Structure 1
Amino acid sequence: MRLTRIVSMLALVSLIAGAAGAQEGSGGAGSAAPWAVPDDPAVALREPDRFAWQLFRALTWPADLDTRMADPEAAYGAEVPVVFQTWILASAAYPDNGGMPAPWEEFNPETVVELDGTDGPLQLSLLREIPPIPPGTEGHQADEVRMNRPAFDYIRENGLYSTQGQQRFYYGQREVSFPPEAIEIKAVWRPITPEQADRYHWSRFRDAESGETLLYGLTALHIMSKILPRWHWSTFEHVDNPFRDGIHDEGWLNRSRDSLACPPERLDCNLAPEGLGLEGTHWENYRLRGSQIEFTDDMGNPVILANSELETGFQTTASCMSCHVRATIGPNVNAPASFEFGPGHQDHPLAPPRASRMSVFNVAPDGRITSYFGTPDPDQFRIKGMEGPYAATYTLLDYAWSLARAKPQP
């Protein structure tokens, strides 16, 4: 059964290989240019760790701010903005009024990220809403979600920047499917001192209240590429992460897996690979925690992949694919409509309906909070309250949780 699935995937990725050749900054499937975004789905499928490092190197190459692509004339490791930092922030792709975002060309790639006082990755913010309060609830940490032009253009051209636009796919029974060139990243940054700067890729963020620019070092980078039908997932962390003792830091609770940098008998060697040009640069201080292209391994065990900075509090149950497949859209729901009105009941103020989506976390009867992992359960995709002979199911948003940032139009 699994062999049939792999053969089918190989056939499918061979069909999209030609389309992937147009990928942003790509030099073609056979290109050895280190700044070229890899575009060979066969490598992503057969050697996912090698593909992960190739992608990491391409997205961390010094950028040409005019083209928002890699600058072949620049030296790798130069302290300048890198390719992924020139992409559009998810906050700009989903305007607050649910309106159409400006075209790609109108965004300034030199925009300084502003610290607005909100703390850390979105999934941790959602986790904090569920008692008991997990670690990492306060303190300094900044994150950003960015997307390249193919991903942004697909969102803009298909109206996915608003909840109504996404619901048109639900009501029209249409499929959301990003192009093979689409890439999104999640980056986590932490404050560092000037003395630590040599060990990090760093940037300066602006404090919204004081206007002061602060030095932040890249501590984690998560990359998702649509090179495969279910995307290729990889996550990287700074080598110092397991040894820090801040409130956001709980160490590495899962072993790393890197078949490119490590020998087969010890895939958790936590070394940087040789021959990619990382030596002598601050990028040699980053480690691949693992890559993922399947829900389960060959023995049916769930594939667990976590980033300790992004999945603080639920590392041991985190799975990129099992979580992101739950990125969905459904019909409007209006909680006040279920309230009981009548004598002896206080009036309940009506609220506008909200688009329904599947939950991010699983809350066990004993209160434990876990992420979803393993093969998805079809029953969970059925919309409660809409059972019947033709039970309604959520519309998948092609694993793109960034779409949950969309706002309703007035």
Structure 2
Amino acid sequence: MTRYLLAGAFALGLSAGVAGPANAQSTADPAMNAPDQVAWQFFIQANSRAGGSNSVFETWASDTDTFQPNPQFPTAPTPPSLRRPVLPQVAREGVEAAGGLLPALPPGISDGVTEETRRNKAAFDFIVQNNLYKVSGLKAAFGKSLSFPIDSIEVKANWMPVSAIPAFTNNRVTVAQVPQLYHVNSAGGVQYAMVAMHVISKAVPNWTWATFEHSLNPSRCDILGCRDAFGAQQPFVPSNRAAGQGYPNCAKTPALTAMLNGADIDPVYQNYCLKGSQSDFVDNTGLDIRVGNSVTEEGFVATASCMTCHGRAVWNKNGQPTSQAGFLSFGPNGPIGPLGPLLPTWYWSFTSQPPIFQGKSGLTRTATSADFVWSIPFCAIDDTQTPVQQSNCAGK
């Protein structure tokens, strides 16, 4: 079975690698109508065995592999390519820029949480073949409409040293128990446990969005609660009144249990829970859809929206990310929801009223969309300078 299954076939439950529920093929447009089911299918695809103790996503290209003068897709599993989590720090910078008071750093940062971003071969090839890994390529692509192929998948994994897990979980596990409960890998001689993962796929034009947390994460359902209409016996878990107290394990439904049992996947992944998924900016009542991971979006879960944030991934005519359209312009308390109706100035300048139709006179493009992929504007190497400036990638 090929390692890189077509996203469209996988979303329809047609992959031979994962046994879907009986109704998987009867659901029309499952990526939109059954997003939690599809989220689990992509999670299983990314985390299936890839030899030894490695999972498939660990055979994919990291930002370090992608954004370099000669990008190379890995030929074998590679250790985690770890960075400090960028979003909590950027959120603090946004508050500071707005004149707000800065709270103490969230405990996860001091506990050694790190992250990495990886993409499958389809996503890697699209970036490389379109020269989107370097500033000269971004300048050449300015003003063009870019769309990743439908079989593209990206993940962001958050890791914590195994030695820090007992304290992080309020001593619900010992160090010796961590390898039995978590996916574990090593980097730089240190063992790390995966505590969270974002998974996105291009199965729909604006990507599918899902975030997973380990069941023992103490703040897993804090603030927003946890929602899983497909895989959890309790589809909605409300937030505790007090933060960081932990939640019961997310008992799996028979449909998800069958899917996991039919996959070639390490049993430790039974301990991970879907926190929530997103396939649109707002629900059918016009309310913003909010999805935030207690680790990845630590400190601003209440205002997190995967689709809105990533929809602002852009660059300007000089091949540089523009702060006007970036996370810094609204910080952790800014607007979420559909992009255009909120602030067209994220992408356009205009001489009169905000444009309603694209052909309106006086409309000038100021930014080009990276098709929701922050790594492109933030990680591209600057090959317009001598010597070439290496990637300034911060894990986005």
TM-score normalised by length of structure 1? 0.71
Q: Quick check: 1:163–1:355 contact (8 Å CA) kept in 2? A: no
Report the secondary structure of 1:259's partner residue: coil
Correspondence 1:106-185 to 2 at 5 A: 107-113=74-80, 118-119=83-84, 121-130=85-94, 131=96, 132=102, 134-136=105-107, 137-170=109-142, 173-185=143-155
Query: Could you report, residue by residue, the CA deviation over 1:69-113 in whole angstroms, capped at 9, with x for unpaired residues?
Result: xxxxxxxxxx61010111010122112xxx3423x3xx3433323
Pair 1:330-2:312 in alignment: no
Q: Which amino acid aligns with 2:157?
A: A
Give the alignment partner of residue 18 of structure 2, picking from 34, 49, 64. Answer: 34
Q: Quick check: 2:310–2:372 contact (8 Å CA) kept in 1? A: yes
Identity, in percent, stands at 28
Report the secondary structure of 1:369's partner residue: helix
Distance between the aligned counterparts of 2:39 and 2:7, measured in 1?
A: 16
- Greater RCO between the two (CA within 8 Å, min separation 6)? 2
Where in structure 1 are there 5+ consecutive unaligned residues?
Answer: 1-19, 65-78, 207-212, 244-249, 333-352
Distance between the aligned counterparts of 1:83 and 1:230, measured in 2?
A: 24
Report the secondary structure of 1:276's partner residue: helix
| Structure 2 partner of 1:286 | 272
Give the alignment partner of residue 401 of structure 1, picking from 371, 374, 391. Answer: 374
| Aligned CA distance change for structure 1 residues 391 and 259 (closer, same or farther; 3 Å) | same
Q: Which amino acid aligns with 1:87?
A: W
Give the alignment partner of residue 258 of structure 2, picking from 263, 275, 288. Answer: 275
Where in structure 2 are there 5+ consecutive unaligned residues?
Answer: 97-101, 163-174, 239-247, 352-361, 386-396
| Structure 2 partner of 1:338 | none
Q: Quick check: 1:323–1:372 contact (8 Å CA) kept in 2? A: no
| Aligned CA distance change for structure 1 residues 232 and 202 (closer, same or farther; 3 Å) | same
Give the alignment partner of residue 221 of structure 1, picking from 185, 191, 197. Answer: 197
| Aligned CA distance change for structure 1 residues 397 and 385 (closer, same or farther; 3 Å) | closer
Distance between the aligned counterparts of 2:298 and 2:363, measured in 1?
A: 39
Distance between the aligned counterparts of 2:12 and 2:272, measured in 1?
A: 26
TM-score normalised by length of structure 2? 0.74
Distance between the aligned counterparts of 1:271 and 1:371, measured in 2?
A: 35
RMSD of aligned C-alpha atoms?
A: 3.2
Correspondence 1:6-405 to 2 at 5 A: 22-23=6-7, 29-34=13-18, 42-64=29-51, 80-95=53-68, 99-102=69-72, 104=73, 107-113=74-80, 118-119=83-84, 121-130=85-94, 131=96, 132=102, 134-136=105-107, 137-170=109-142, 173-192=143-162, 193-206=175-188, 213-242=189-218, 252-262=222-232, 266=236, 270-273=250-253, 274-277=257-260, 281-332=267-318, 354-357=320-323, 358-363=325-330, 369-370=332-333, 372-378=335-341, 380-382=343-345, 387-388=350-351, 389-403=362-376, 404-405=378-379
Query: Could you report, residue by residue, the CA deviation over 1:274-305 in whole angstroms, capped at 9, with x for unpaired residues?
Result: 32236992111110011110101111100000
User: How many residues end up aligned between the 2 structures?
Assistant: 329
| Structure 2 partner of 1:7 | none
Query: Could you report, residue by residue, the CA deviation over 1:93-139 in whole angstroms, capped at 9, with x for unpaired residues?
Result: 112xxx3423x3xx343332355xx52x2222323434325424534
Q: Which amino acid aligns with 1:356?
A: T
| Aligned CA distance change for structure 1 residues 383 and 295 (closer, same or farther; 3 Å) | closer
